[in-house]
Structure 1
Amino acid sequence: MEPFVRNASEGAPELYGLKAWESQLPLVRVGFTGRGGGVSSAPYNSFNLALHVGDKPDDVLENRSRLTAALGFAQDAWTCGEQVHGIRVACVRAEDKGRGLRQRENAFQATDGLVTDVPGILLTSFYADCVPLYFMDPVKKVVGLAHAGWKGTVGLIAEEVVRVMEQEYGSLRSEIRAAIGPSIGGCCYEVDEAVMGRVREVMAQLDEQDGALEAVAAPSETEGRSMLNLKELNRIIMIKAGILPMNIECTSWCTSCHDDAFFSYRKHQGVTGRMASWIGLKER
């Protein structure tokens, strides 16, 4: 069953909520945005949530306000990083609330992962084919996000988030829940041999056998290229990091196949908006 459930009414933000987690921890709000229900003009139409793509800043801020309002958070709860396809994970403290809301310059710089245990903060990150990774410890009440393109994936950003949760918040790996959200699928993500070389290195580092490699990559119709399943690769990395397989949710949504519902960098040759992942703990 698809874990990310679409919920949209006419004129409202298009949201894909991870409802199973909200039942496990009632104060958590977690999910992913679609491209509908905002105010941005083409080619960012309509619910673009990123400031770095060339959209009008006022339209982006209005879209962010619509999302926080729909989730029951104050607008200044919005907190984000300046993503660079790296593996740095920042711990978000109470005084960090609102970083990156209005200006990119005060976001967490060179940061692709965020973790917090502070209620009232909404962690966010941005996507147009890359893989959104979600983390929750329902015991310690810690939540996290990571942005994983192929570079972040082979850099093991999923493992880094788990390490930070364990080291900084005392989370037990066996109690952490993880989820893999809407992103480009192995059906559409064609990569060259340079990328596949890094993937093979990671699979060897993880001590995975050839059968596992076949699960994350298939031959492309184009000679010398492969179809890469980043979702499955991240799932394997999560398991190797100590997350129990039964505690991992994985979407079936492909952002390239469903570019009517999602922005897709590859499908639109780089000129498009960005969805947002979000996770936060509501204040009582």
Structure 2
Amino acid sequence: MDLTSTALTVHEEGNLYYLTFPSFDRTGLVRHCFSTRRGGISQGYFASMNLGFGRGDHETCVLENYRRICYVVGIYAGDLVFSDQVHGDRILYVDQQDRGKGIVQPVEMEEVDGLITDRSQVALVTLYADCVPLYFLDPTKKVIGLAHSGWRGTVQEIGRKMVERFVGDFHSDPQDILAGIGPSIGPCCFEVGPEVVETFAQTFPAWIDDVVRMPAGKGKAHIDLWETNRKILERAGLLPDHITVTDICTTHRPEYFHSHRRSGGNRGSQAAILELR
């Protein structure tokens, strides 16, 4: 296996690979993963572990892929709860009555990019193919959250808004919260046009030199979504050593990850899954 990370733990179960955050594992409070494209049954450009419904893959294949990843992580697939991602900043509380929505029941959530719960056996799911997955766990209050943070979600600071939900709804102390910034497009590959640079400059003026790399000559600028989200979380009150930042770029590793940018949209999806035991 040549998929390695100094930040996340890589798990290999036969030909199925997934990743976890060591800080979350050490608590013993959650089951979680970020999937790869290895270990499923999908074919073509969905091969082989595609966890995205509605992209043209056979539903029976996607369901079997979920059965496989849930089995190795120790989660019952019927407990999964899906969001309805639109690159926004809406965060929804879910509980036991929402289990199965998106896999064995219709998705009822609309325009939701973040999920939060304090209930056990409610498995939160968000989907990815380059955008940034944000994982949250308050081991003191026993609250978890997942947020889908592409560049639009990042400039809307969905990570900060998740922390505010922890504090406002569950009286969390931000210094107790653990966060994980998962595999996604890295600063090496996230080229953007001047309008995106301007949006980041207006939103994060103090950080622009840290998160935007301006090229020499006529090349496009590169934005570091990992560092931007890390700074957002730290400014929201999280301790620096409670934030784990990925070192895996999904665009760079097509043999392990679906990438929207690399494939031009012909791709499957990875899933972030997080459940309180």
TM-score over 0.5 for the alignment?
yes
**Matches of 1:220 and 1:128, distance apart in 2:** 25
Deviations 1:90-143 (A, max 9, x none): 01122111111245x424221000011111111111111100001110000101
Q: What residue is the counterpart of 2:44 in the other structure?
A: 42
Q: Indicate the percent of aligned positions where both proteins have the same amino acid.
A: 35
Q: CA deviation at 1:197?
A: 1.0
The answer on whether the counterparts of 2:123 and 2:273 sit within 8 Å (CA) in structure 1 is: yes
Picking from 4, 7, 10, the partner of 2:11 is 7
Amino acid at match of 2:122: I
Letter in 2 for 1:6: V
Checking the alignment, whether the CA contact within 8 Å between 1:101 and 1:107 is kept in structure 2 is no
C-alpha contact 1:133 1:180 (8 A) present in aligned 2: yes
- The structural deviation recorded for 1:224 is 6.6
Give distance in 2, aligned partners of 1:260 and 1:98. Answer: 30
Q: Which residue of 1 aligns with 2:267?
A: 272
Residue of structure 1 in register with 2:233 after alignment: 238
Aligned partner letter, 2:7: P
Amino acid at match of 2:93: C
Cα drift, residue 150 of structure 1: 0.5
1:128 maps onto 2:129 in alignment:
yes
- Structure 1 Cα separation of the partners of residues 123 and 69 of structure 2: 10
| 2:23 aligned residue | 20
Deviations 1:47-91 (A, max 9, x none): 000102211111111111112211212221111101000000001
- Provide the C-alpha distance between the structure 2 equivalents of 1:232 and 1:21, rounded to a whole number of angstroms: 20
Q: TM-score, normalised by structure 1?
A: 0.92
Aligned-partner Cα distance in 1 for 2:183–2:228: 14
Amino acid at match of 1:237: I
Matched, 1:32 2:37: no
Q: Structure 1 stretches of 5 or more lacking a match?
A: none
Q: 1:79 aligns to what SS in structure 2?
A: strand
Pairs within 5 Å for 1:1-284: 2-11=6-15, 13-23=16-26, 25-102=27-104, 105-204=106-205, 208=206, 212-220=207-215, 223=218, 225-282=220-277
1:186-242 per-position Cα deviation (integer Å, ceiling 9, x unaligned): 1011000111111011113xxx2xxx3222111236727310111111111111111
AA aligned opposite 1:215: D
Q: C-alpha distance in 2, partners of 1:51/1:221?
A: 41
Q: Which letter does structure 2 place at the counterpart of 1:142?
A: V
Query: TM-score, with normalisation over the residues of structure 2?
Result: 0.94
* Number of residue pairs the alignment of both structures matches: 273
One-letter amino acid of the counterpart of residue 255, structure 1: T
Q: Distance in 2 between matches of 1:41 and 1:221?
A: 41
User: Structure 2: which 5+ runs fail to align?
Assistant: none
The alpha-carbon deviation at position 155 of structure 1 amounts to 0.6
* Runs of 4 or more above 3 Å deviation: none
